[in-house]
């Protein structure tokens, strides 16, 4: 099993997903905050009236969504971090899903 694992799956083509492209610079919406809880060793996304428990890979992606890095740069950073290649499709799928949830813009 590979260390890079997302819980979200889709069969859609990810060359362009809505407004999200390889040159997009996603950022968390203003109302969202990432928090790591040391006691539980777990990452959470805090939103108004909602708390989302993130898996380590999802948290790694969202931490890189700071509005300065492109999706391409985020993908390259994750490929280096996890020692894997060709993660673009999985990163796009995750970002598309969290964009639909209103977590990033």
For residue 82, give both structure tokens: 């996890």
Burial of 32 (0-12, 13-18, 19+ CB in 10 A): buried
What are the φ and ψ backbone dihedral angles of 28, each rounded to 5 degrees?
-65, 145
In a domain, 14, yes or no: no
In a domain, 71, yes or no: yes
- pLDDT of 11 reads 34
Our count of domains for the chain comes to: 1
Instruction: Report the CATH number at residue 54.
Output: 1.10.10.1150
CB 9 within 8 A of CB 87: no
In a domain, 5, yes or no: no
- pLDDT of 18 reads 54
In a domain, 91, yes or no: yes
What are the φ and ψ backbone dihedral angles of 44, each rounded to 5 degrees?
-130, 145
Q: Which contiguous run of DSSP H or E holds residue 89?
A: helix 88-100
CB 6 within 8 A of CB 90: yes
- pLDDT of 47 reads 96
In a domain, 80, yes or no: yes
Where in the sequence is the domain holding 83, given as residue range(s)? Answer: 33-100
Residuewise pLDDT in 10s, the chain (105 residues): 344 444 433 333 333 345 789 999 999 999 999 999 999 999 999 999 999 999 999 999 999 999 999 999 999 999 999 999 999 999 999 999 999 999 999
């Amino acid at each position: 099993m590979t260390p890079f694992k997302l819980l979200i799956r889709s069969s859609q083509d990810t060359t362009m997903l809505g407004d999200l492209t390889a040159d997009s610079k996603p950022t968390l919406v203003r109302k969202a905050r990432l928090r790591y809880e040391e006691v539980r060793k777990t990452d959470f996304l805090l939103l108004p009236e909602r708390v989302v428990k993130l898996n380590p890979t999802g948290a790694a992606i969202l931490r890189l969504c700071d509005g300065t890095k492109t999706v391409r740069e985020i993908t390259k950073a994750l490929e280096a971090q996890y020692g894997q290649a060709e993660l673009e499709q999985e990163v796009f799928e995750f970002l598309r899903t969290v964009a639909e949830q209103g977590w990033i813009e």
